[in-house]
Amino acid sequence: MTSPPYQPAPRTWVAKFRDAFRGIYIGVRAQSSFVVHLITAALVIALAAYLQVDVIRWSLLLLCIALVLAAELFNSAIEWLAKAIDHAENEYLRNALDVASGAVLVTSIGAAIVGGLIFIERLTAM
Ligand SMILES: Nc1ncnc2c1ncn2[C@@H]1O[C@H](COP(=O)(O)OP(=O)(O)OP(=O)(O)O)[C@@H](O)[C@H]1O
């Protein structure tokens, strides 16, 4: 027997933001690798402050951090969906989960390259 379709009540903007922050909280809690990303982000911010990078480089570094964290949140969302769809082994879910992990890897490599270029340029100019 299938359940009737769930129809959420219309939400206020406050409720939309509350749900979005709830999503961030759940996404962070579900991903053990978030700790690594947060520690890396803190180190990048500390190094950028120490090296006094300019506003353009600050923007690039913060954008990279946001991209990696957003990719992790999407990865977490797909993991929750996968759990809802099937608890048995499923080749399609395996592909979806691996593609989502690949997306996190791609953004992390890109962020590492951008951060590396910015810090190497600043350090060699000192
Ligand atoms: N239902 C399934 N059917 C087939 N393969 C699966 C299934 N669930 C998970 N997997 C495989 O196991 C891997 C890890 O699954 P999952 O991402 O849920 O675990 P995790 O330890 O929470 O991962 P992460 O370290 O990204 O948090 C997936 O990338 C996928 O290859």
Nearest CA to ligand 1 atom 31: 94
Residues 6+ apart with CB under 8 A from 34: 27, 28, 69, 72
Nearest CA to ligand 1 atom 30: 94
Check whether 89 is labelled as a binding-site residue.
Answer: no
ipTM above 0.95, yes or no: no
d(CA 111, CA 122): 17
Given the residues 72, 89, 91, 121, select the one marked as catalytic: 72
Q: Given 1.10.287.3610, 1.10.1060.10, 3.10.20.30, 1.10.150.310, which CATH number is that of 13-124?
A: 1.10.287.3610
Q: Do 76 and 30 touch, CB atoms closer than 8 A?
A: yes
Of 6-10, 21-25, 34-38, 74-78, the poorest mean pLDDT is in 6-10
Name the pLDDT band for 38 (thresholds 50, 70, 90): very high
pLDDT digits over 81-104, tens only? 999 999 999 999 999 999 999 999
Q: Where are the domains of the chain?
A: 13-124
Name the pLDDT band for 3 (thresholds 50, 70, 90): confident
